Amino acid sequence: MTNSLCEFCCHMKEIVSGKGSRFLMCQKSAVDHRFQKYAPQPVVQCGGFEQKEKEKSSE
């Protein structure tokens, strides 16, 4: 867990590789090219940020 905005954003999809590396994928990148699919973390400011409705515990 980082302090990145993406952690709390409804557009983020967490990807965990077979080797256990964790990537935060921005799903907004699919529809808006201003967003990078894998933005350099941590993201501290983002125009696309929208708070997740509720936190899921880590899976």
Residues that bind ligand SF4 (CB under 6 A): 5-6, 9, 11-12, 26, 28, 35, 39, 43, 46, 48-49
Bridge partners, residue 3, by sequence:
none
Which residue lies nearer to ligand SF4 by CB, 19 or 34? 34
What's the closest the beta carbon of residue 18 comes to ligand SF4, in angstroms? 23
The number of beta carbons lying within 10 Å of the beta carbon of residue 17 is 8
Angstrom distance (rounded) from CA 31 to CA 46: 16
Q: What are the start-end ranges of the E strands in 20-59?
A: 22-26
Q: How far is the CB of 1 from ligand SF4 (least distance, A)?
A: 14
